[in-house]
Amino acid sequence: MITNTYRVKGMHCASCSSVIEKTLKKVEGVDSVTVNLVTEKAKVSFDASKTNLKDFSKRLESLGYSLTIDGEGELSIINSNLSTNDHADHAGNSRFKGEKLAELSQMRNKVLSIMPLAFFSVLIMTWDALIRFGIAPEMSGLVYEFIHHLLPILATYALFVVGKPYLLGLIRFFRFGKANMDTLIGLGTTVAFLYSFIISAFKEPLRQFINVENVYYDITIVVIAFIALGKYLETKAKLKTGDAIEKLLNLQVKTAVVIKNGQEKELPIDQILHGDEIIIKPGSNIPVDGIIISGSSFVDEAMITGESIPVEKIIGDTVVAGTINTTKSFVFKATRVGKETLLARIIQMVEDAQNSRAPIQALVDKISSIFVPVVIVIALLSLFGWLIIGTKFLGFSQALSFGLVSFVSVLVIACPCALGLATPTAIIVGVGKGAKEGILIKDATTLEKLQETDFILFDKTGTITNGEPKLVGLRNFSNISDKNFIEILAALENRSEHPISRAILDYAKTENILAVAASEFEIIKGRGVRGEFGGTEYFAGNVQMAVDLGLKVNLEEINVEAKQGKTPVVLMTKKEIVGVVMVADTIKPEAKQAIKDLHDLGIKTMMLTGDHQNTAQAIAKEVGIDEVLAEVMPGDKLKKIQELQNQGFVVTMVGDGINDAPALAQADVSVAMGNGTDVAIEAAGITFLRGDISKIVKAIKLSRLTISGIKQNLFWAFIYNLVGVPLATGVFYPVFGWLLNPVFAGLAMAFSSVSVVGNSLRLKTKKI
C-alpha cells in the first residue's frame, strides 16, 4: 500500500471534493482518499499492483476533473520515474502558483467584462421597481424596445461565456448524476434564461396564459456576475492562505558548488550526494545539511532558531539547508540531502498538516455529500408549491413568476462553498502561522485536540532543562585568583571526555581562559582525575576523592546544593582543598514563565524524569510544576499517561529523547523539542524547532484560536443557509410579504464564501 498526493484541477466547492472522494474510493485497490478544497490536492492510499494514476484520471476526467502528480505537469506527459526531490517539489509548487495566478488573471478579466453588464442590469431593475411605485417615469417605447432586445444578448454572453463552468456542471449532472455547486448555479441561471427566451420568442401566443412582461435576463446576468466576483475574491484570498509554504520553499536553493576530482563544479541540487564536499561563499544559502570540514564563518540560522544574530561555525559544527552564510567561505560535507534535510522535513510536515483533515470536518463532509441533491429537491418543491398553492390565491401567471424566482433563489443562495471552505482555510492559516513561530504541526487532528488539553507532562532533561551541564557556582578557598583557579581546573579536565569536564571547559572558554592540558594526566576511576600543572600535583573529582586523600570537607554545605541537583567538583592538592565548583543541568530561562502561563490557561503540569528525586523536586519547585514523578523508566512514563487518560484527562506529553518515544506515542497530543532526537520528533504530532518550551503556550493558544475560527466559519456558513433557504422558498411571503430576489441570493452566496475566507485570514493578525 502506497500513499501519493496529487494536484486536482476543476474543483470549485465542497461538493466537488466529496464527488472526487466518492469516485476514487470506488476504484479497486484504493484504501483511502482525502481531498482538500483549499490546497486542491488529493491524498490517495492504494495498492499499486491493482490500480494507478491513469485509472484515477479516467474516472475523474468524465466528471470534469483532472489529476496531476503533485507539483508536476499533466498526466499525459508524466512517467513513473519522476524525481521526488526537493527541487522538483519547489518547481512544482512554483508552477502551481503560476497556474493559479494565471487562472486568477482570467477570472479577473471575466469579472471586469461582466460587471458593467451587471450594473446596467441593476440600473434597469431599479428603474422598473421605481416605475411600479410611481417614483420614476415610464420608459419610452424606443428605450423599452432597445432594452428588450439588448438584455437577451447580454444574458447570452453572461451565461455561455462567463457562466460556461456552470453550464458544464449542469451537463455533468444530467450525464452522470454528480451534482456540485456548478450544478446549482447552472440549473438556476439556465432555467431563468430559457424561461425568458421562450417568453421573448413566443410572446404573443403566451400572452393569454401568463404575464409575458416578466422576463429574467437581468437575473441571469447579475447572479453570474456576483458569483464570478465572489469566486475571484475567494480564489485571491485562498492564495494568501498558503504563504507559509511559499516562504519555506523560497529558502531552498537550486544549485550548489561541489568539489569533484579537485575541481569546483556547479550542480543542480537534486544531484548532490551523501559525502559530497560543498563550497559555501558569503551571502549564499546552504543547500543541504552537513558538517564543516574546512574554514569557519558566521551563519544566520534565524530560519531554525529565530535568533537574528548569526552563529559562529567552525570545523566539526553542523549546518542545515536554508540557513545563510554571512562572512567567510567554508567547505562542508553533505550528510543529509533531498528529502532528508531538516528544511525539507519542515516543508513536508507543514504541507501534510495543511492537507490533513480535522475531526470537525467529518460533520461538514457528511452534510456536503447530501447537500446539493437536497437543495435541488427543495428548489423543485418551492416551484411546484407556488404553482399548486400560489395559483389558488395569486393566479397562475403570478404564481409561476414567484415560483421561478424562488426556484432560482434557492439554487443560488444554497451554494455550499462557504461550508466547504470553513475548516480547511482556518487549518491552513493556523498551521502556517504556527510554522512562522517555529511550531510544526503534523496534522489537523493534533491541532484540534491540543485545545482540549487539561494535563501536560514534561520530560526534564532537554525540555525543562537545557540538557547540558553548566558550571553554575564557584567557591575559591585559596589565595590564587578565580581565573587561575579555573585555569588549573580546566587543565586537569582538558583530556577527559566526561560531560562535567565539557561544562568546565566551556566555562573557561567563555571567560577567555586558555585550557592547556596538564602533564602526567591520569583518570582515577569513580573518583576523578589527577595531573601536574605549574610544577604542582592537583586532583579534581568528587567528595570521595577528597576523603580518600584525608582532606576535610564541609559535607553539610555540599549536600544542600546536591539536593538542588548540583554536582560538586573539588579541586585539591594532597595537602589542601583549593576550591569547589558546582555543575548542573540549568533550567531553561523561559521555563518558569511558560509553566505560569499554562496554569493561567487552567492546565495542570507534571514532570516525568529518570533523575534522582531530590534533583527533580528542586527543579519542579523552582519552575512551579504541580507534580513530579522521578526515577522512572520509559515504560513508567507511558503507564502514567494511560492512568491520567483513564481518569478522563486529555494529556499532552512534551519530550526530546528516545526514551520519550513510547510516552509521546501514547499521549493524546505529543510534542517534541526540535533539538531532540529524530525518533522523538517522528513520534510527535508537534515539533518546536528551537527547543523553546514557551512555544507550548503559543501552540495551545494557536489551537484554541484556530478551532474558534473554524466554529465561527461553520456558524456563518450554516446561518446563511438556515436563514437564506427558507427566505428564498417564499415561506415568509404569506405573512410578511418577503420574497428573495435571485440577485440578492447571488450576492449573499458570494459574500458568505468571501467572509469565511476573510475570517480565516484574520487569524494571521492575531497574537499568540
Question: Residues 203, 274: one domain?
Answer: no
The enclosing domain of 454 has a CATH number of 3.40.50.1000
Count of domains observed in the chain: 5
Question: Residues 156, 113: one domain?
Answer: yes
Number of H helices, E strands in the chain: 28, 26
Question: Residues 369, 233: one domain?
Answer: yes
Collapsing DSSP to helix, strand or coil, 479 comes out as: coil
Question: Residues 221, 362: one domain?
Answer: yes
459 belongs to the catalytic site: yes
Task: Please write the tens of the pLDDT for every residue from 239-296.
Answer: 665 555 566 666 778 889 999 888 889 998 888 999 999 999 998 889 999 999 999 8
- Percent above pLDDT 90 for the chain: 20
End-of-domain residue from the set 25, 48, 82: 82
More confident residue, 704 or 682: 704
Task: Please write the tens of the pLDDT for every residue from 90-136.
Answer: 455 556 566 777 878 888 999 899 999 988 888 887 787 677 667 87
In a domain? residue 390: yes
Question: Residues 125, 148: one domain?
Answer: yes
Do the strands 465-476 and 577-587 form a parallel or antiparallel pair, or are they unpaired?
Answer: antiparallel
CA 570 remoteness from chain centre = 51
CA distance linking residue 294 with residue 431, whole number of Å: 38
In a domain? residue 433: no
C-alpha cell recorded at residue 716: 456563518
Residue among 694, 712, 697, 706 nearest 764 (CA): 706
Residue among 253, 257, 251 nearest 329 (CA): 257
C-alpha to C-alpha distances, 256 to 87, 285, 345, nearest whole angstrom: 12, 9, 20
What is the pLDDT, as a whole number, of residue 326?
A: 87
Residue among 609, 683, 633, 468 nearest 673 (CA): 683
Helix or strand run (H / E) with residue 474: strand 465-476
C-alpha to C-alpha distances, 230 to 151, 257, 748, nearest whole angstrom: 23, 48, 10
In a domain? residue 665: yes
Question: Residues 223, 263: one domain?
Answer: no
Residue among 623, 342, 317, 303 nearest 463 (CA): 623
Picking from 403-417, 471-485, 516-530, which range would have the lowest pLDDT averaged per residue? Answer: 403-417
- Do residues 659 and 648 make contact, with C-beta atoms less than 8 angstroms apart? no
Please give the average per-residue pLDDT across 378-383, as a whole number: 91
Question: Residues 209, 329: one domain?
Answer: no
What is the pLDDT, as a whole number, of residue 491?
A: 92
The enclosing domain of 565 has a CATH number of 3.40.1110.10
Task: Please write the tens of the pLDDT for every residue from 484-499.
Answer: 999 999 999 887 777 7
CA distance linking residue 490 with residue 569, whole number of Å: 12
- Rg of the chain over Cα atoms, rounded to whole angstroms, equals 35
**Of 70, 86, 459, 611, which one is the catalytic site residue?**
459
- For residue 341, pLDDT beyond 70: yes
End-of-domain residue from the set 678, 701, 724: 701
Collapsing DSSP to helix, strand or coil, 216 comes out as: coil
What is the pLDDT, as a whole number, of residue 171?
A: 85
**Bridge partners of 67?**
8
Four-CA torsion 704, 706, 711, 716, nearest 10 degrees: 140
CA distance linking residue 392 with residue 395, whole number of Å: 6
Question: Residues 78, 111: one domain?
Answer: no
- Do residues 30 and 60 make contact, with C-beta atoms less than 8 angstroms apart? no
What is the pLDDT, as a whole number, of residue 88?
A: 45
C-alpha cell recorded at residue 386: 407556488
Task: Please write the tens of the pLDDT for every residue from 211-251.
Answer: 677 777 887 888 788 778 877 876 776 666 555 556 666 67
What is the pLDDT, as a whole number, of residue 237?
A: 63
CA distance linking residue 322 with residue 320, whole number of Å: 6
The enclosing domain of 15 has a CATH number of 3.30.70.100
In a domain? residue 217: yes
CA distance linking residue 521 with residue 531, whole number of Å: 4
- For residue 5, pLDDT beyond 90: no
Residue among 565, 566, 578, 508 nearest 537 (CA): 578
263 phi and psi angles, rounded to 5 deg: -120, 150
Picking from 175-179, 506-510, 514-518, 700-704, which range would have the lowest pLDDT averaged per residue? Answer: 175-179
Name the H helices within 386-481: 391-394, 396-413, 417-436, 444-450
C-alpha cell recorded at residue 703: 489551537
- Which region holds residue 360: left if phi is over 0, alpha if psi is between -120 and 50, else beta? alpha
CA distance linking residue 254 with residue 87, whole number of Å: 6
Burial per residue of 287-326, b for 16 or more beta-carbon CB atoms within 10 angstroms, e otherwise: bbbbebeeeebbbbbebbbeeeebbebeeeeebbbbbbbe
In a domain? residue 92: no
What is the pLDDT, as a whole number, of residue 71?
A: 47
pTM: 0.67
In a domain? residue 419: yes
3-state helix vs strand vs coil in the chain, percent to 5? 55, 20, 25
Question: Residues 453, 548: one domain?
Answer: no
C-alpha cell recorded at residue 66: 483532472
Task: Please write the tens of the pLDDT for every residue from 402-455.
Answer: 888 888 888 777 766 677 677 878 888 888 888 888 888 887 888 889 999 999
CA 114 remoteness from chain centre = 36
CA distance linking residue 549 with residue 573, whole number of Å: 9
Collapsing DSSP to helix, strand or coil, 156 comes out as: helix
Tell me the average pLDDT of the chain: 81
CA distance linking residue 462 with residue 467, whole number of Å: 4
301 phi and psi angles, rounded to 5 deg: -105, 25
33 phi and psi angles, rounded to 5 deg: -140, 135
Q: In this structure, how many other beta carbons lie within 10 angstroms of the beta carbon of residue 412?
A: 33
Question: Residues 634, 575: one domain?
Answer: no
CA distance linking residue 364 with residue 359, whole number of Å: 10
Task: Give the range of the structural domain holding residue 455, as residue numbers without chain letter.
Answer: 438-464+588-701
Q: What is the DSSP letter of 515?
A: -
Question: Residues 129, 235: one domain?
Answer: yes
CA distance linking residue 457 with residue 626, whole number of Å: 10
In a domain? residue 91: no
Kindly indicate the confidence band of residue 81, based on its pLDDT and cuts at 50, 70 and 90: very low
Q: What is the DSSP letter of 518?
A: P
Collapsing DSSP to helix, strand or coil, 197 comes out as: helix
Picking from 206-220, 618-632, 641-655, 698-712, which range would have the lowest pLDDT averaged per residue? Answer: 206-220
- For residue 85, pLDDT beyond 50: no
In a domain? residue 402: yes
Collapsing DSSP to helix, strand or coil, 200 comes out as: helix
Residue among 414, 478, 457 nearest 630 (CA): 457
End-of-domain residue from the set 348, 378, 394: 348
Question: Residues 470, 556: one domain?
Answer: yes
